[in-house]
Structure formats: C-alpha cells, structure tokens
Amino acid sequence: MKLITDTDTLAHTVELLSKSGFVTVDTEFLRETTFWPQLCLIQLASPDVAALIDPLAPGIDLAPFFTLMADKNVIKVFHAARQDIEIIHHLGNLIPEPVFDTQVAAMVCGYGDSASYDSLVAKITGHQLDKSSRFTDWSKRPLSEKQLTYALADVTWLRDVYRNLHRQLEESGRAGWLKEEMAVLANPDTYAPPLENAWKRVKGRVRKPRELAVLQQIAAWRELEAQQQNIPRGRVLKDDTLIEIAIQQPKDKTALANLRSLSKGWENSAQAAALLQAVAQGLAIPKESLPQIKHKAATGDANRSETEILKLLLKLVTEEHKVAARIVATGDDIEKIVAGQDKTGIPAMQGWRFELFGKKALAMLAGHIGIKIDNGAIRLFDIKQAEQ
C-alpha cells in the first residue's frame, strides 16, 4: 500500500474519484501543540477507488484535493465531520459541498447519541475494526503497513455505512432532516467563530457587567494571539488567568505582577502591553453599553415538574420515531420552552424538530395532551377526547 506523495498522482487519483457520485473522506491530524490542526494524512474512497495522500510530502500541492472537495456533483461523506472540515476550511479556504455526516445521519436513524465509527461499522456491516493503531503519531514517517491499513479502513468501510444510512433516510422520509443539520456544517462561523465570541470558550465565571466587558476584550486578544502564533490558547494565557484579570482589571505592569496566576516576570513580556490595552478597552466601555450577565432563573417547583414531564415526552417521542433524543432537543431547549422564551431562538422549536417534538411540548404545557399508562406502557393521549 503506497502513499500518494506527488501532485501528478494526486491529480490523476482525484480525476478517478470525481467520476463517482460520492467519496468518503477522513483525515489524520495533530493539534496538541498548535492552534490550527496539523494535517498529516488524507484518506479518500469512492466505490471503485481508495487512496491515501501524504500532505507532508515535500513539494506536494493539495489543490486537486481541494477541487474535489468543492465539486458539487460529488457528495463528500464524513463521520463526525466538524474537525475534518475545519482543517479543509483553514488550509483550502473552502467548505466541502455537499456533505453527508454519517454520525448525524445515525442519530436521525436511531443509532443513539454520537455513535462511534467502529460501532456503526459493526452494527451495519458486522465487521469489527482493528483499532490498535488509534494512537499513532501520524506526523512520523515512514508509516507502517499496519498503520496505513488502519487509516484506509476509516474510509473503505464508510462506503457501506453511507449507503445503508442513505437508504434508511430515503425510506423513512427523513433525508430533509439531515439536510437541515448539514447547514450547520456549511456555516463558516462553525469553524472560525467571531473574535467577539471567544469569551464563551473560557471556563470560569464573572459576576459583574464590567468584569464581563473586560473578559470579552482579553479573550478576543488571546484568540487572535493564539491564531497568529499557531499555539494552543492555554499557551498564551490559561482560562483561570483570564478570569482573574477580568476581576482584578490591572491597569499597569505593577498590577499585572501582583496577579497570582501569572508567572513571575510575565508583566515584562512582549504580550503584556497588548493585554493591558485589551483590559483598558473593556474598562472604557460606557456603563450604559456594558454587556449584561445572564443569570439562570431559579426554577420553581411547577417549572421543575413541567421540565421533567417534557423530558419524559421527549423520551416517548424519540423512542417511538427511533431517533436520538440529543438531536431533537437538549435539556437547555426544554428549560427555555418551559420558561416561555421566544421559540425562534430554540432549535427544538424549529423545522422537523418542532413537528416531531416542539408542537407536542406546547400542547402538553397548554393541557391539551397528557401521559398515561396503558397496559404497562406509557402513552400520550388527547385530554379533551378523554373527557368526552
């Protein structure tokens, strides 16, 4: 088994792959020491062709691969596509189109929440994958025959998984459900969130609007710094340090030096001045323009009961329709529905999810449908009809 290491061979292989209606795709990468994933291997397969591409080969141009990813006549099939697409988006400045994610399709088809690739292969084909090379350092060369065989299996068996799930979606009339989910993967913001949202990644809490304003500024600074240096966010500053800075709001090097979470001497680094400027920007925001802290409303006994009932409703509905509960509604969705929030901001109240679950949730909260035990089974019933 040979790796493709030159552009001409890659172009010829892509030409063959592009003749198919679909191509399965996987990547192997490292990102422990970088902000952006380091692409180490690309696996591709159509019904007739299977290939392994070495993106680390000297002089190779991946342009033919990116052309294939942009070919709208070829469906790109991934399993758990987000990280693979993130790499393609970063390196090729494009998002593959159209896309079929077998992990999402499996949830729609009732294989449970976040089904793994090897479990799907086993359930659909009966084949048990050898996962002994799971922890390979894919940046090292040469790769062994065993490692290459392992890598290729990630796209060859995916062909059978795709065909099976595609058929199930068509037969059940749920192909449109998957299409709605793929719209998230097609959104560039999924892979490069705006800098102003970087604070949402930070683990830790601030309690005052001014603290949040500073956190938003310094988190955006850290995000940009990590991108430019291509290092993990935590290598710039850790989350607990950002929280301490947001609370203490240092205005000069002396104040920075007094922070417990910063290493000694950091206040004299090249980054310190830019960080202090970000703090100053947060402090300069007028009081009337400060971001608001969203406190989670206390849940009363009545709301707790309604929430539990809707969770039971979700379980009943998803079991009846053989679809993973996680893809229909989250606990946060249910709490917002119970609280009477604007349904336009709740995924469970949109599209096919609304038809499947949201509509019933509103009817239950309005007292139109109820839950009963019928011959040992929990069932829904129309309250008005039962009263007649």
Same domain, 382 and 237: no
Same domain, 124 and 69: yes
51 part of a folded domain: yes
* Torsion sign across C-alpha atoms 46, 49, 50, 51: negative
Question: What is the per-residue pLDDT for 353?
Answer: 94
Same domain, 53 and 157: yes
Same domain, 271 and 368: no
Locate all alpha helices (DSSP H) within the chain, ordered by sequence.
7-17, 63-70, 82-92, 102-108, 117-125, 145-172, 175-185, 209-229, 233-236, 239-248, 253-257, 270-284, 301-321, 325-328, 331-338, 351-353, 359-365, 383-387
Question: What is the per-residue pLDDT for 304?
Answer: 87
296 part of a folded domain: no
Question: What is the per-residue pLDDT for 345?
Answer: 83
| DSSP structure class, residue 355 | I
Evaluate whether 60 touches 7 at the Cβ level (below 8 Å).
yes
Domain with 356 in it: what CATH number? 1.10.150.80
Over residues 186-234, the pLDDT tens digits come to 998 888 888 999 999 999 999 999 999 999 999 999 999 999 999 999 9
Same domain, 224 and 237: yes
Least confident of 92-101, 142-151, 173-182, 222-231: 173-182
Helix (H) or strand (E) holding 203: none
Percent of all residues in the chain with a pLDDT value above 70, rounded to a whole number: 97
Helix (H) or strand (E) holding 129: none
Does the pLDDT value for residue 298 go beyond 60?
no
43 part of a folded domain: yes
Short-list 275, 268, 274, CA closest to 245:
275
Number of folded domains that form the chain: 3
Over residues 78-131, the pLDDT tens digits come to 999 999 999 999 999 999 999 999 999 999 999 988 899 999 999 999 999 998
Same domain, 208 and 149: no
Question: What is the per-residue pLDDT for 133?
Answer: 87
Same domain, 49 and 144: yes
Query: 226: domain range?
Result: 195-289
- Residue given tokens 């329709």 in the structure block: 321
Question: What is the per-residue pLDDT for 181?
Answer: 87
